[in-house]
């Protein structure tokens, strides 16, 4: 699976990553790349993190299994993500426009909150019993009640079955924390 990550959007949704970003933008980016590198080792997936950049933009390697792309001054990271989504995979962002562009391109759109919740679960499963985990407490946005999306008309099909896009997103998220046999 190829994951396309809205870098600053994800950093600012996680308190631990956001606190690193307060030190410097570079520290926040490094912390995110380390977190994704652990996920890449555990799942075998590839991660591409897109950040807003300046000048001509560019790309590089953030860590094993993680590529970093900086948008140019003429283009936002959101547009780069939309363009990369045409190649398939899963796009992680809380930005509604980015997620809609991903869906139009045929990619799986996953919210940053869902992604971080799954990463938290996967990290907790990797920790030795009794160890304090740095993401042990739920961040404030995870404590809010989940809101059902507004429906635009009667649904067709099996009412107990999730919509196709929701099933695709769940399969993608499950890759981050496969069940142990």
Going residue by residue through the chain (181 aa), what tens digit of pLDDT does each one get? 899 999 999 999 999 999 999 999 889 999 999 999 988 888 888 999 999 886 656 766 667 789 999 998 888 999 999 999 998 899 999 999 999 999 999 999 999 999 999 888 877 766 555 555 444 444 443 344 444 455 566 767 777 787 888 888 888 888 877 665 4
User: Strand 90-92's sheet: what is its strand order?
Assistant: 58-63, 66-70, 46-51, 2-6, 90-92, 108-110
- pLDDT given at position 175: 80
Within 10 angstroms of residue 131's Cβ, the number of other Cβ atoms is 10
Q: Which of 61, 118, 70, 129 is nearest to 90 (CA)?
A: 118
3-state secondary structure of 169: helix
The pLDDT of residue 147 is 43
pTM of the model: 0.72
Q: In this structure, how many other beta carbons lie within 10 angstroms of the beta carbon of residue 14?
A: 25
How far is Cα 97 from Cα 102, in angstroms, rounded to an integer? 9
């Amino acid at each position: 699976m190829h994951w396309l990550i809205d870098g600053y959007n994800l950093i600012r949704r996680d308190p631990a990553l956001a606190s690193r970003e307060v030190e410097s933008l570079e520290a926040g980016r490094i912390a995110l790349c380390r977190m994704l590198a652990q996920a890449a080792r555990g799942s075998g997936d590839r991660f591409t993190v897109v950040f807003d950049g300046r000048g001509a933009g560019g790309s590089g390697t953030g860590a094993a299994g993680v590529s970093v792309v900086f948008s140019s001054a003429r283009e936002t990271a959101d547009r780069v993500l939309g363009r990369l989504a045409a190649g398939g995979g899963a796009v992680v962002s809380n930005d509604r426009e980015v997620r809609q562009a991903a869906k139009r391109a045929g990619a799986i759109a996953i919210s940053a909150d869902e992604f971080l919740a799954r990463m938290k679960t996967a990290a907790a499963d990797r920790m030795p019993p009794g160890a304090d985990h740095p993401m042990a407490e739920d961040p404030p946005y995870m404590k809010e009640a989940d809101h059902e999306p507004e429906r635009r008309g009667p649904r067709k099909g099996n009412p107990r079955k999730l919509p196709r896009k929701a099933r695709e997103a769940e399969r993608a998220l499950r890759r981050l924390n496969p069940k142990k046999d």
